[in-house]
């Protein structure tokens, strides 16, 4: 069933790809973003990909009145909430900013939602809620013990949503715990394009490959992994976007609070990622090993079985496709 969906953080990396998937499924999309880490130039690109204009509201999610006005004026049925600060290292330096933006922002959004009796809410959460693995792969029953202000902000919002669902049996809430989103839309027109120095590894590798940066710094090569570098579960952003569509369909028939891992279930090391990118871009990525980064763990990857069983969703795209789509996007950027 087609719905009218508000996507907060909608001009950002994951929000924009999700907007494409949902728009192409026939949903009416409205994007809401304060443009702190994105640009409204993407609106023309989204129109080119989808073949139709997507309404946009510039605003902060902490502006509850503006959110309410947006929900009313566009007659919104469901909210997908991406907006938030997301750099783990920065969250350690600026914890108040993270709690104000991510937690206060979510509360503002939820208050607005209540005024309009909107019951469907999908939250962009993170595998960082799990913290240090007690076992691998992470399943949804793994204890949550976030280690950073960023991770704790996600965990707190999940708990708020769980309490909210307990208070109102009509609510339909899904917390999607992402692993490591990478890659770009197959058109090469949208992808991960952070302002300033990238916090994530894939755009950094792409910028080294294109010549914008001299080298990649690899944080530690003495972890108990196959090659000593950190192992992560990388997921193509289009698989992730499709996961949101699957979650939306699931919530049509399921009330309550639900958590799902969105990952591939396979871990790749930093060096494996570098070599895969070199293969796709036909170049050499200069890198330098430096010390471990505070807060990093040796490896983590998902058990995505719950999403496969209940959402009918699993990843389709492999590591080489993640690298090749990133490279196509980077070449178009330059």
| Axis crossing angle, helix 105-115 with helix 64-73, rounded to the nearest 10 | 40
Residues annotated as catalytic (active site), given as ranges: 150
C-beta pairs of 95-103 under 8 Å, 24+ apart in sequence: 95/149, 98/149, 98/150, 98/153, 99/149, 99/153, 99/156, 100/62, 101/62, 102/150, 102/153, 102/154, 102/157, 103/153, 103/156, 103/157, 103/160
How far apart CA 87 and CA 203 sit, in angstroms, is 14
Return the sign of the alpha-carbon dihedral for residues 268, 244, 192, 298. negative
Coil, helix or strand at residue 312: coil
Q: Write out the H or E segment, with its range, that includes residue 234.
A: strand 234-236
What number of H helices and E strands is found in the chain? 12, 13
Q: Other CB atoms closer than 10 Å to residue 286's CB: what's the count? A: 12
What is the maximum span of the chain, computed from C-alpha positions, in angstroms?
55
Give Cα separations from 201 to 211, 235, 262, 271 (angstroms): 15, 13, 19, 11
Q: Are 235 and 178 in contact (CB under 8 A)?
A: yes
- Which of 8, 7, 9 shows the shortest CA–CA distance to 21? 7
How far apart CA 305 and CA 37 sit, in angstroms, is 33
Residue partners of 107: CB distance under 8 A and separation at least 6 = 160
How far apart CA 99 and CA 9 sit, in angstroms, is 17
């Amino acid at each position: 069933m087609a719905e009218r969906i508000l996507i907060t953080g909608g001009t950002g990396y994951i929000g924009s790809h999700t907007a494409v998937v949902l728009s192409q499924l026939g949903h009416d999309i409205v994007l809401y973003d304060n443009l702190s880490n994105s640009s409204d130039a993407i609106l023309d690109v989204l129109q080119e990909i989808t073949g139709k204009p997507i309404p946009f509201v510039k605003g902060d999610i902490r502006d509850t009145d503006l959110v309410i006005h947006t929900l009313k004026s566009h007659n919104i049925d469901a909210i997908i909430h991406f907006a938030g600060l997301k750099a783990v290292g920065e969250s350690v330096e600026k914890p108040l900013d993270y709690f104000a933006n991510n937690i206060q922002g979510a509360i503002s959004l939820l208050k607005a939602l209540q005024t309009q009796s909107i019951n469907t809410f999908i939250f962009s959460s993170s595998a960082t809620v799990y913290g240090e693995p007690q076992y691998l792969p992470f399943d949804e029953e793994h204890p949550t013990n976030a280690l950073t202000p960023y991770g704790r902000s996600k965990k707190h919002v999940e708990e708020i949503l769980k309490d909210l669902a307990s208070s109102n049996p009509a609510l339909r809430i899904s917390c999607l715990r992402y692993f490591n989103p990478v890659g770009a839309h197959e058109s090469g027109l949208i992808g991960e394009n952070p302002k300033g120095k990238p916090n994530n590894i894939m755009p950094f590798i792409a910028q080294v490959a294109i010549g914008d940066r001299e080298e990649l710094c690899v944080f530690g090569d003495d972890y108990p992994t196959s090659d000593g570098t950190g192992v992560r579960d990388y997921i193509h952003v289009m698989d992730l976007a499709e996961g949101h569509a699957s979650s939306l369909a699931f919530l049509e028939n399921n009330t309550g609070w639900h958590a799902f891992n969105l990952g591939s279930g396979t871990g790749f090391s930093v060096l494996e990622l570098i070599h895969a990118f070199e293969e796709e871009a036909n170049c050499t990525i200069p890198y330098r090993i430096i010390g471990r980064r505070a807060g990093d763990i040796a490896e983590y990857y998902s058990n995505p079985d719950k999403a496969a069983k209940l959402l009918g969703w699993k990843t389709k795209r492999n590591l080489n496709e993640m690298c090749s789509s990133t490279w196509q996007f980077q070449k178009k950027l330059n």
